[in-house]
Amino acid sequence: MKLTKAQKETMKEHGWDIITNHVDGEEQNCGWLSLTPEEDGHVYHEVVEHFGLTGDGKDVKLLVIGTSEE
């Protein structure tokens, strides 16, 4: 996935750092985060609740395009 220049600027204006990964020799503006109930317990359940998911699958995957730390 590649973000547009406008999307990148909007994220930067709001204090977000854009993810940069290299996949198959190409730069990507995203990263995958996979959570399982067995390994990630409380965080897994918080994500399921926050996004209104059922939690019936073996895991939950999130596509991350930015981070912010305060």
Q: What is the pLDDT of residues 13-64, one digit of tens each?
A: 999 999 998 989 988 899 999 999 999 999 999 999 999 999 999 999 999 9
Beta bridge partners of 34: 61
Q: Which pair of tokens denotes residue 40?
A: 């990630």
Residue linked to tokens 């590649």? 2
- pLDDT value of position 63: 94
5-14 pLDDT, tens digit each: 999 999 999 9
Note the pTM of the prediction, 2 decimals. Answer: 0.76
